[in-house]
Structure 1
Amino acid sequence: MLKNMKFIKFLLGLTTLTASTIGFAQNSEEKEWQHVYDAREAFYEKNIGKLPNDIMKASNLFGVWPGGGFYVIPADKIKKGLWVYSTFGLTNSDMPSTLTATDIEIKHNDQGRVISSSSKLEKKNRAMPSTGKAGYGYEVLMIAKENAEWPLWFMQWTGNIVLLNDVDLLTRVEKNNGLTIEEIPVGNDENDTINVLIAKAQKPLPTDIKLPNGNMQFLIATVITDEEMQWSIENGRDALLKKLMVSGAGQISDRNRSSIVK
């Protein structure tokens, strides 16, 4: 379990860009980047739903993750009425990143919204994934029953821990049969937090694909209750995932769901 990770606490500040503006020009490396992007986009649209025209980008990750961001996708191919919140670009051909952001300064208005931000880019050693992985080797999804803001807090939290703090979520999931994280902030109120179980996608959800630059795994973050968090510590994260699947809750996040353990 990753515990009390509020040291990465932030207030939501996302910028919306037209997706086509994040592409590159046309030398060989850039053509490979676009080839990977197009293959991933096709997989999403076949198995999840049509990508919106706009991608959301975290201002503190602009230089670190120039071709990546977050999508909010009507997940009609999974089930009508569901929404998928997804990283999009951790598997880009220019990942893992060789840059990190330091001296991050964020200014907010009276409503807590980001009005400006600044940071300094510094070189870092590339955290090389295992052979055969596309970029970091995974994209992270949260599936919810609503189009809301709180999952975007989680997505930006994910971008921060992967790109700025070099946390390899896939390796931790594989080593520990899943990963539980408690008290992730998802609002301006410090008490507005969620617990999540991160695990590999389970069928009938799309699970993985071989992109032109390697293998991509879907990791699904599922909101769990305090009781389920404690139960997973005592009985195992894989056991909790099995109970979620059997109960019908599956890997869909519902903050109002009753606990499946007693």
Structure 2
Amino acid sequence: MKILVCVKQVPDTTEVKIDKEKGTLIREGVPSILNPDDANALEEALKIKDKYKDVTVTVVSMGPPQADYMLRECLAMGADDAFLLSDRAFGGSDTWSTSNAIVAGINKIGQFDIIFAGRQAIDGDTAQVGPQIAEKLHMSQVTYVQNLEIKGNELEVQRQLEDGYEIIRVDMPVLLTAVKELNEPRYMSVDKIFDAYKKEILVLGFNDIDIDSSQVGLKASPTKVFKSFTPQPKGKGIMLEGTSKNNVEELVMALKQKHII
């Protein structure tokens, strides 16, 4: 069985900066991490690899050269190989352009029985790239996966809903997007960290994949950002001391003064 995991290096959301003219994130100088939902996606792929024989796990990402470090983290967790789609031509891509590049990269890498992706990335929260990849690869897809069982060539999936879950049975090949409830991502192991830095991460540029310039990059992206901003820091909170009765009376008075009640 061949499994592919789509991962993304994202800026630490506690230190986000925004280019006011372009409406895009400024990534230079901002600490980067493996997208949390993608870590859950990778963990589920590795759990399948631990349980079944002849399973290979490949990770793929689109990003700047420094995403190499994040991919080596994935290798140190247990992935077998990694690919990085990196080229200035991909810069500024929205979800549509990003999925175009990733699909072209997947077609270059090979065919897979299961493709995992995180539910969404914390730097965009769109939850669009995974489903778009599935549509462009003409694959079945199940989003918001919180539990998974393999039964022959069929998967039994619990899909998370706001008030519960639904059970879906789907044949492979299939794309699944993971939520944090699916599992607890493992840590890197020391021996695999050393092995990760011995492996080659194949970098695929614009000229290495079959794609037209009209399908990638900022100019090719149909999404137009109306406004981007970082929220203003909240003011210092007020601590109420004394008895519960006095606290309630003081709280009610404060809320009335602010015309909240």
TM exceeds 0.5? Answer: no
Which protein is bigger by CA-based radius of gyration?
Answer: 2
Q: Which has the higher strand share?
A: 1
Larger RCO of the pair (alpha carbons < 8 Å, separation 6+)? 2
TM-score by length of 2: 0.23
Q: Which has the higher helix share?
A: 2
